[in-house]
Amino acid sequence: MKRSQINRILEESKPFFASMGFHLPPVAFWTPEDWRRAGPQAREIVDVGIGWDVTDLGFGDFRRKGLVLFTLRNGKDDDPRYPKRYAEKAMIVDEDQLVLTHYHWKKTEDIINRGGGDLVLELHNATPDNRLHDTPVRFSKDGIEHELPAGSHVTLEPGESITLTPGLYHSFWGAPGKGKVFVGEVSSVNDDESDNCFYEPQHRYPSIEEDEVPVHLLVGDYPALAQFSGTSSGASQG
């Protein structure tokens, strides 16, 4: 992705969140200069991956396959400095913009339609060798248990949510003709370094062509910050 494209996406994302009545934290508006002035007090932000994440999943067509995320809070299971055992994210999914099929080995997550259009999910159980199982899928939607055939589509209207457990393959997209969707996620600790299983090959973080100065840094930019060298940031996917 070009940095100029990422900048445009970020500038579109901020007013969209505001239009949903959602207020981003101060770090969402930090410039690269703000980051250069940041001291060790900001280390948690870097280490657990709080911040912006824009990805085209390596396919080069963000509007068809991609996602905008802002990780609001996270922890690390193996680091006592960061005792949170939960994570929260805000995401934007456009009409027919696909987040590709994946599951998590450890993470349990609630995917919540916070507003805007409808969110559609496709669900499969995973086989032991990470293929798509043909067995029925079981899940909870707003506390109500459901069982559907493999590959079923589940639509979340604004206010509705679904609980996704480990080993449950899921993909999702915005329903056509309904507008962008403000998607929330509340989960156990998010670890994109070791807890994502993708059904088809993809690149979690984009390669960036630096054709202009960043408006805001992405989580993937954090390792290059000299004052935080040696930290291990973790961006997030739904």
What pLDDT, in 10s, does the model give residues 182-198? 999 999 999 887 888 99
Q: What is the pLDDT of residues 147-172, one digit of tens each?
A: 999 999 999 999 999 999 999 999 99
**Structural domain tally of the chain?**
1
Domain extent, residue 178, equals: 3-228
Report the pLDDT averaged over residues 51-58: 94
Answer whether residue 72 is part of any domain.
Answer: yes
For residue 204, the model assigns a pLDDT of 67
pLDDT tens, residue by residue, 96-151 = 999 999 999 999 999 999 999 999 999 999 999 999 999 999 999 999 999 999 99
Phi-psi region of 21 (alpha: psi -120 to 50; beta: other; left: phi over 0): left
Q: What is the pTM of this model?
A: 0.92
Closest CA to 120 of 77, 69, 160: 160
The answer to the question of residue 235 being in a domain is no
Name the average pLDDT for the chain.
93
Question: Does residue 238 sit within a domain?
Answer: no
**237: in domain:** no
Q: Residue 233 domain-assigned?
A: no
- What is the pLDDT at residue 175? 98
> What is the percent of the chain where pLDDT is above 90?
83
Q: How far apart are CA 13 and CA 69, in angstroms?
A: 9
What CATH number did the domain enclosing 214 receive? Answer: 2.60.120.10
Q: Is the pLDDT of residue 33 over 90?
A: yes
pLDDT at residue 203 in the model: 67
On whether residue 53 sits in a domain, the answer given is yes
Residue 77 lies in a domain: yes
